[in-house]
Amino acid sequence: MTTFLACGLILAGVGFYLAGTVGLLRFPDVYSRLHALTKADNTGLGLLALGVALLAGSPRLALLIALVWLVAIIAASVACHLIAGYALQVGECGDEDDR
């Protein structure tokens, strides 16, 4: 039962990741790309971590996974904030081929 639940969670997480990546590739500008990445990927990471923690079986491993999730989500939010702030400051510096 637990295995099924974990597999479901992991599959859902992978689905969110897929959606985030499609957004990153398809959206037109920095802000909407960041929107796709942070929203979808953070949800995906949470679901994935939950699924793996269920499979891990021991509370110690589950706690470690929770710590990894927390650190990753903090770092991702700050990185997203910095990228958006930079883009706002210098303006959209065109396409990547400029530099």
Residues that bind another protein (CB under 8 A): 71, 74-75, 78, 81-82, 85-86, 89-90, 96-99
Tell me whether residue 2 or residue 89 sits nearer to another protein (CB atom).
89
Is 5 or 18 the residue whose CB approaches another protein more closely? 18
| Contacts within 8 Å (CB) and 24+ apart, 31-37 | 31/84, 31/87, 34/80, 34/83, 34/84, 37/80
Give the separation between CA 83 and CA 13, rounded to whole angstroms: 24
> In Å, how far are 5, 13, 35, 64, 83 from 8, measured between CA atoms?
5, 9, 25, 21, 33
- Between 58 and 89, name the residue whose CB sits nearer to another protein: 89
CB 23 to another protein: min, Å: 18
**Shortest distance, position 78 Cβ to another protein, whole Å:** 5
Residue closer to another protein, measured from CB, 5 or 61: 61
CB atoms within 10 A of CB 34: 19
> Nearest distance from residue 71's CB to another protein, in Å?
7
